[in-house]
C-alpha cells in the first residue's frame, strides 16, 4: 500500500463531468489499495473571473479581501469532488487549506508555506478516507486566509507530499507531461520522459506555466520526485527529479516564452555611484521584481537603465520612480509592454559552447531583433518584440532539433 498525493488542475475539474472523471480515477487508485490525498484547483477560469470582479469594484483591491475571495474557487471543487466520490461509495472528506494545517507567512496573495501540521488529516486517512485538500490556500499566524500565488495548487500538492512523506506525487493536468515547448503553441513539441529540477525551475520561471515555479523550488529543496501527467488519458508523463550525469548530454531541454512582461526604460539618469542602487531600492520596496537589467555607458554625465518587470507592475514602476529621480537629481521613465521573453534551458549548456550563437543565428534568419540578453549557467533569455514571439519560439525550437522526428 502506497501513500499517493495527486493534484488535479483547473481544466481537469472544469465541470461536473470532469469532476466525475476525476472521482473515477481516484476510486481506481484506491481500489488498487493505495491511500490518497488529493489536491484540487478551482474550476478553470474561476480564479480569473473572481479577480476581474474584484477589479471592477476596486482597481487596487485590499489583499486580505482578495485572498478571502480567491479561496472560494477551490472550496467549491473540494466539496464537489468529495460528493462525486460519495456517489461512487468512496468515503471522502474535504479539507480547506486551514483545516489541512497549511501554515503560511503573512504575504497575502503570494504567501509562502512555512509548515504543515496534518494531524486531523492523518486521522481521517488512517480511517480509510480519501482526503480532498483545497489547493492554493493556507492560513497565516494571524488566523487569516492566504493564497500562494497563481498556479499555487501545484505548491500545495508538493508541500503535502513532503509533509506526509508520500510514496508518490502525481500532478494531473490537461497535457501529457512537460514538453520541449508549450504543445499548444509549437505543434511538433516533444514530451520529455524526465527533466531535472533546475531545468523545470528555469522553464517555469521563464513562462512555462505547466508548473508553478515556486512549487518546483520546494520540490528541489525537499527532494520530492513528482510526475506531470494527463487526467484525460493513461499515458506515462514526465518525471521531475534531481539531475543525473547523463542529463548533461542534452544541450537544450526546452524553450519557454513569457508574454506577460514589460520593458522599463529610464533615461537621463545622473551617471554617478548610487543612482542605480536608489532606483532598484525604490522598486524593491514596492515589491516589484526586476529582471534583465542593462545599463548603458554614460555620456555627458547621464546614463540610461533598462530592465523588465511583470506587465502588471509596469504602471506602478512608472508611478513611483519620479520621487527617486527628485532625490538623485534627474531621470525620466517610460514603460513599453510590447515585449516578450524567449528562453532556452538545458543543463548541458554548462559543458557545451556555442548555444548563444546558435540561438542568435536562428533569430537573425527570421529577422527578429534582440533587445536585451541575460544568461545563467543553464539558460539564455532574450527580450524580443511580442508580436514575433511565437515565430521566434518555433525557429529556436527547430534550430536545436527539439521537435518530434518527422
| Residue of 100, 181, 224, 282 interacting with ligand ADP (CB under 6 A) | 181
| Residue of 51, 99, 109, 183 interacting with ligand ADP (CB under 6 A) | 183
Report in angstroms how near the CB of residue 203 gets to ligand ADP at its nearest: 6
| DSSP-derived 3-state class of residue 230 | strand
Place of cell 548541458: 348
C-alpha distances in Å from residue 190, one per residue of 164, 178, 186: 33, 8, 9
C-alpha distances in Å from residue 272, one per residue of 208, 277, 378: 39, 10, 33
**How far is the C-alpha of 141 from the C-alpha of 406, rounded, in Å?**
55
Report in angstroms how near the CB of residue 294 gets to ligand ADP at its nearest: 27
Count of alpha carbons within 13 angstroms of residue 14, beta-carbon side: 10
C-alpha closest to that of 338 among 393, 260, 256, 257 = 260
**How far is the C-alpha of 52 from the C-alpha of 21, rounded, in Å?**
29
Report in angstroms how near the CB of residue 181 gets to Mg ion at its nearest: 17
In what order do the strands lie in the sheet containing 145-147?
113-116, 102-104, 137-140, 145-147
Q: Which residues, at least 6 apart from 30, have a Cβ–Cβ distance to it below 8 Å?
A: 36, 90, 130
Report in angstroms how near the CB of residue 212 gets to ligand ADP at its nearest: 8
The partner in contact with residue 47, picked from ligand ASP, ligand ADP, Mg ion, none with C-beta cut-offs of 5 to 8 angstroms by kind, is ligand ASP
Count residues contacting ligand ADP (CB under 6 A)?
19
Cβ neighbour number for residue 185 with a 10 Å cutoff: 15
| DSSP-derived 3-state class of residue 403 | coil
Q: Is 151 in the site for Mg ion (CB under 5 A)?
A: yes
Specify the stretch interacting with ligand ADP by CB under 6 A; choose among 93-101, 174-182, 317-325, 354-362. 174-182
Q: Is 173 in the site for ligand ADP (CB under 6 A)?
A: yes
Q: Is 73 in the site for ligand ADP (CB under 6 A)?
A: no
Q: Which helix (H) or strand (E) holds 239?
A: strand 238-241
| Closer residue to ligand ASP (CB): 71 or 116 | 71
The partner in contact with residue 101, picked from ligand ADP, Mg ion, ligand ASP, none with C-beta cut-offs of 5 to 8 angstroms by kind, is none
Q: Is 346 in the site for Mg ion (CB under 5 A)?
A: no
- What phi and psi, each to the nearest 5 degrees, are found at residue 134? -70, 125
| Residue of 4, 10, 102, 372 interacting with ligand ADP (CB under 6 A) | 10
The partner in contact with residue 11, picked from ligand ASP, ligand ADP, Mg ion, none with C-beta cut-offs of 5 to 8 angstroms by kind, is ligand ADP
Cell of 309: 518587470
Specify the stretch interacting with ligand ADP by CB under 6 A; choose among 22-30, 206-214, 300-308, 340-348. 206-214
Q: Is 14 in the site for ligand ADP (CB under 6 A)?
A: no
Specify the stretch interacting with ligand ADP by CB under 6 A; choose among 110-118, 141-149, 172-180, 358-366. 172-180
Binding site for ligand ASP (CB under 6 A): 9-10, 41-42, 47, 73, 135-136, 150-154
Q: Is 138 in the site for ligand ADP (CB under 6 A)?
A: no
Asked if 35 contacts 1 with a C-beta cutoff of 8 angstroms, the reply is yes
Runs of H (alpha helix) within 213-337: 213-222, 275-285, 314-328
C-alpha distances in Å from residue 52, one per residue of 55, 66, 141, 243, 261: 5, 11, 28, 40, 20
Specify the stretch interacting with ligand ADP by CB under 6 A; choose among 101-109, 155-163, 179-187, 271-279. 179-187
| Residue of 97, 118, 151, 237 interacting with ligand ADP (CB under 6 A) | 151
| Closer residue to Mg ion (CB): 138 or 151 | 151
| DSSP-derived 3-state class of residue 291 | strand
Positions in the binding site for Mg ion (CB under 5 A): 9, 151
Question: Residue numbers of the site for ligand ADP (CB under 6 A)?
Answer: 9-12, 41, 151, 173-175, 178-179, 181-184, 208-210, 254
Amino acid at each position: 500500500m502506497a501513500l499517493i498525493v495527486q493534484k488535479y488542475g483547473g481544466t481537469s475539474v472544469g465541470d461536473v463531468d470532469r469532476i466525475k472523471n476525476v472521482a473515477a480515477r481516484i476510486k481506481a487508485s484506491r481500489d488498487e489499495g493505495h491511500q490518497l490525498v488529493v489536491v484540487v484547483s478551482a474550476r478553470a477560469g474561476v480564479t480569473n473571473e473572481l479577480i476581474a470582479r474584484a477589479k471592477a469594484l476596486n482597481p487596487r483591491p485590499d489583499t486580505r479581501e482578495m485572498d478571502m475571495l480567491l479561496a472560494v474557487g477551490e472550496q467549491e471543487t473540494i466539496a464537489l469532488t468529495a460528493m462525486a466520490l460519495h456517489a461512487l461509495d468512496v468515503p471522502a472528506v474535504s479539507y480547506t487549506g486551514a483545516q489541512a494545517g497549511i501554515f503560511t507567512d503573512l504575504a497575502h496573495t503570494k504567501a509562502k508555506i512555512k509548515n504543515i501540521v496534518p494531524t486531523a488529516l492523518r486521522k481521517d486517512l488512517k480511517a480509510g478516507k480519501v482526503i480532498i485538500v483545497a489547493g492554493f490556500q493556507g492560513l497565516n499566524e494571524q488566523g487569516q486566509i492566504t493564497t500562494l500565488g497563481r498556479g499555487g495548487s501545484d505548491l500545495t500538492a508538493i508541500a503535502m507530499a513532503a509533509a506526509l512523506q508520500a510514496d508518490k506525487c502525481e500532478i494531473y493536468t490537461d497535457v501529457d507531461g512537460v514538453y520541449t515547448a508549450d504543445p499548444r503553441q509549437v505543434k511538433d513539441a516533444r514530451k520529455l520522459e524526465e527533466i531535472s529540477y533546475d531545468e523545470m525551475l528555469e522553464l517555469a520561471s521563464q513562462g512555462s506555466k505547466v508548473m508553478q515555479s515556486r512549487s518546483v523550488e520546494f520540490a528541489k529543496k525537499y527532494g520530492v520526485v513528482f510526475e506531470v501527467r494527463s487526467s484525460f488519458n493513461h499515458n506515462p508523463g514526465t518525471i521531475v527529479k534531481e539531475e543525473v550525469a547523463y542529463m548533461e548530454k542534452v544541450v537544450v531541454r526546452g524553450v519557454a516564452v513569457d508574454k506577460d512582461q514589460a520593458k522599463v526604460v529610464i533615461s537621463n539618469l545622473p551617471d554617478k555611484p548610487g543612482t542605480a542602487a536608489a532606483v532598484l531600492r525604490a522598486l524593491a520596496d514596492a515589491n516589484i521584481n526586476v529582471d534583465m537589467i542593462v545599463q548603458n555607458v554614460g555620456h555627458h554625465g547621464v546614463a540610461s537603465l533598462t530592465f523588465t518587470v511583470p506587465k502588471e507592475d509596469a504602471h506602478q514602476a512608472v508611478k513611483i520612480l519620479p520621487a527617486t529621480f527628485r532625490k538623485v537629481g534627474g531621470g525620466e521613465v517610460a514603460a513599453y509592454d510590447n515585449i516578450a521573453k524567449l528562453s532556452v534551458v538545458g543543463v548541458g549548456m554548462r559543458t557545451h559552447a556555442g548555444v548563444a550563437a546558435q540561438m542568435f543565428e536562428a533569430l537573425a534568419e527570421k529577422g527578429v531583433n534582440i533587445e536585451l540578453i541575460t544568461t545563467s549557467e543553464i539558460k539564455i533569455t532574450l527580450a524580443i518584440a511580442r508580436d514575433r514571439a511565437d515565430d521566434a519560439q518555433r525557429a529556436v525550437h527547430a534550430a536545436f532539433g527539439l521537435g518530434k522526428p518527422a
